Structure 1
Amino acid sequence: MTRHSDCLSVLTDSARFASDWRRAGEDIPAPLLSVQTLDPPEHTAIRHLLLDGFRAQDRQALHDTMEREAADLLAELALRPSFDFVGELAEPLALRFITAFLGVDAPDQAWFVPMSRTVVDGMDAGLWPEKHEPAVSARARLAEYAGGWLADPPKDGLIAYVAQHAESAAAAGVDRAVLRNSLRVVLHAGYESASRLLGNAAAALLTTPGALTAFRRAPLAAAVDELIRYDAPVQADARVCVTETELSGVTIRAGDPVTLLLGAANHDPLRFAHPTELRLDRAPNPHLGFGRGAHACLGASMAIRLAGSVFTTLARDYPDARAVAEPEHRRNLTLRGLDRFEVTLRPHTGEEELS
């Protein structure tokens, strides 16, 4: 599916299009069963627990802290001739952000980032089957890591809330292994969504003439939404049809896999005027960058606020920020993101050369 309307129809119809492939007779490894892969009604209790935990947190205090950290980090990086926006800003900031929300210390970046990337690589195992088993193992290791949080929970944060309500969740039918896997999903998906959003948005703003200036003038929410639509971290998703149905004149049979090319849907000319242009004041903007329906991204609003804080500071305090090399993308299809992006926050002097 490439059309916006078709992708939206599938995303919002979990009765006919399943995220849980067991409904089509597939055998799913235990480490893959989580809030991300279950469907209602099994999915409902675990999602409600996590949503209640999200709402119980002091998100304003978290964002205030992260805004200060982002400003401090940018000030430090501004002293250097250039730096890697991905490895030195987007990734460490995203990891600090999601673990602070969870209420735990950030893991060693040198251990966590390769593990996280292995999981992402496994999302493309349909094309590269050799990536499947390493990704399953990485998910299991991350789930084991997350399971330690439940055994010895922190005093504050989402983990503390989930641990406090684990018994009532179990009574509602939430399996503890699924709960542990779901916390792994929050850690991994939160980190990957935020870090890739920051990297992709930086590339758009710093390689499109006049975009950083336009960002300062545009309504913040509209600008961030447009950056997500223009180059979303999540480029594809998949469902399996469980009841024969017709969509846009095509018969889809039970058991058929359905691939949703969300990047294409976000550039559908039937839904977006001038879709290839970065229009930071675009409104309305019903992009599918964070999904829709039962499996819409839990932390979308938080990632949006983080991106808004980072790029507001960048545009306000460093209006001369620019790329000094082309952004380098990672070799992924399902999730889109940068491997490296060398930038400078200094004004152009005419003495530098693009590398």
Structure 2
Amino acid sequence: MDPTDPILQLARPSILRNPYSAYARLRENTPVFRHELLDSWVFTRHADCLAVLTDSARFASDWRRAGEDIPAPLLSVQTLDPPEHTAVRRLLLDGFRAQDRRALHERMDFEARDLLAVLARRPSFDFVGELAEPLALRFITAFLGVPVPDLAWFVPMSRTIVDGMDAGLWPQKHEPAVAARAELAAYAGGWLADPPKDGLLAYVAEHAADSGVDPAVLRNSLRAVLHAGYESASRLLGNAAAALLTTPGALAAFRGAPVATAVDELIRYDAPVQADARVCVADTDLGGVTVRAGEAVTLFLGAANHDPLRFAHPTELRLDRAPNPHLGFGRGAHACLGASLAIRLAGSLFTALAGDHPEARAVAEPAHRRNLTLRGLDRFEVTLRGRAAATTAGEEEST
């Protein structure tokens, strides 16, 4: 592979830590370009990405509309278009609305503070593996109403699925990801055979027969809710923690900003979802080029979220930024179902962190996973102790 390829360069460790300068160069020099390896048009500006996301008539998520053969485990609420998409999304949305979200939020407030209190006893800890991932998994399974799976089983499988999202660049990641999706869908299918009494699953199981949704699509969609909810939330928490704990004054500023506004800015600043793809189904003029039917388009949402034509001073973390029309949760028919829940979870955690542990700080640089579609941390060592307390504790341990 060409080491000078502008997309492959994004996976270099030095750029992976902060890809936004590289995005800016692309956006300024070649805001729309053809990428040979992906066999796709690539868009980097906010206006172009928004236009594609909100036009499902001409840009499809369901690649069968362009004649592609899609494996059955990949057919879900994430990959179908209306009218098939409409029925399963309506079922899930109705289930979302039927839940006692206040009780869930109160539970997550408690869980966040409890985890932080336990970890505060330690000199330092891995924010990703010991806080963001377990909290996100507790959150999404509590909402679904199902038991929390074993992290040692779930996390590697989830990461395999995420790795497969970059299979256009690294084809060897495709088959393991398809197998992992099928395994997770089978696991989710077991819920429908013996549904819980409460939560989203209980509602879906009760109303599935009257929904008109294919059972296989429903199983895949429940898998997608579990996986996307976990990955979006855990990566959001990790990325946001890195921003708050490596930007001088940011954690203190969080305390003074409206919580939802601050979380929105953390999402814009370093969103988990950095890229998305569609296939054109009708010739369309966009961004100064003509995209033909059957051609793929790749949307660099991370670049769009830092577009100076849409955001003033986009490289700055401004926790009071409003309005904030970022594309971190998508737009249009495929906008994230659980965006409000993820924002609330992040608000719970960082309100507790900023209020109860204002001296929290990074112990080491955050290490990122080698993913380009979903951006997230592999490890981030932090401490909740101030420097003076950490020094005192170290002296006590040495004596």
Normalised to the residue count of structure 2, the TM-score between the two structures is 0.87
Structure 2 residue matching 1:213: 3-state secondary structure: helix
Structure 2 residue matching 1:246: 3-state secondary structure: strand
Give the letter for the 1:131 counterpart: K
- 1:125-274 equivalences under 5 Å are 125-170=167-212, 174-274=213-313
Work out the CA distance in 2 between the residues paired with 1:335 and 1:248: 24
Q: Which residue of 2 aligns with 1:46?
A: 88
Structure 1 counterpart of 2:154, from 112, 119, 124: 112
Give 1:219 shift.
Answer: 1.2
Give 1:277 shift.
Answer: 0.5
Q: Which residue of 1 aligns with 2:317?
A: 278
1:12 aligns with 2:12: no
Give 1:249 shift.
Answer: 2.2
Work out the CA distance in 2 between the residues paired with 1:143 and 1:88: 26
The CA deviation string for residues 327-349 of structure 1, in whole angstroms up to 9 with x for no partner, is: 00000000000000000000112
Give me the CA root mean square deviation: 0.8
Q: Which residue of 2 aligns with 1:93?
A: 135
Give 1:268 shift.
Answer: 0.2
Structure 2 residue matching 1:239: 3-state secondary structure: strand
Structure 1 residue matching 2:69: 3-state secondary structure: coil
The CA deviation string for residues 45-81 of structure 1, in whole angstroms up to 9 with x for no partner, is: 1000000000000011001011101101100100100
Structure 1 counterpart of 2:342, from 295, 303, 312: 303
1:56 aligns with 2:95: no
Structure 2 residue matching 1:282: 3-state secondary structure: coil
The CA deviation string for residues 146-198 of structure 1, in whole angstroms up to 9 with x for no partner, is: 0000001000000010000011013xxx1100000000000000000000000
Structure 1 residue matching 2:211: 3-state secondary structure: helix
Work out the CA distance in 1 between the residues paired with 2:142 and 2:258: 28
Structure 2 counterpart of 1:33, from 75, 83, 99: 75
Work out the CA distance in 1 between the residues paired with 2:253 and 2:201: 39
Identical aligned residues as a percent = 85
Normalised to the residue count of structure 1, the TM-score between the two structures is 0.97
Structure 1 counterpart of 2:115, from 73, 92, 113: 73
How many residues align? The count is 349
Structure 1 residue matching 2:387: 3-state secondary structure: coil
Work out the CA distance in 2 between the residues paired with 1:281 and 1:121: 34
Give the letter for the 2:277 counterpart: A
Structure 1 residue matching 2:162: 3-state secondary structure: helix
Work out the CA distance in 2 between the residues paired with 1:6 and 1:284: 19
Q: Which residue of 2 aligns with 1:124?
A: 166
The CA deviation string for residues 187-232 of structure 1, in whole angstroms up to 9 with x for no partner, is: 0000000000000000000000000000001111110000000000
Give the letter for the 2:338 counterpart: G
Give 1:248 shift.
Answer: 2.4
Structure 2 residue matching 1:142: 3-state secondary structure: helix
Work out the CA distance in 2 between the residues paired with 1:93 and 1:221: 19
Work out the CA distance in 2 between the residues paired with 1:249 and 1:83: 49
Structure 1, unmatched stretches of 5+, are none
The CA deviation string for residues 296-329 of structure 1, in whole angstroms up to 9 with x for no partner, is: 0000000000000100000001000000000000
Runs of 4+ in 1 over 6 A off after TM superposition: none
Instruction: State which drifts further: 226-235 or 215-224.
Output: 215-224
Structure 2 residue matching 1:240: 3-state secondary structure: strand
Q: Which residue of 1 aligns with 2:64?
A: 22
Give the letter for the 1:262 counterpart: L
Give the letter for the 1:89 counterpart: L
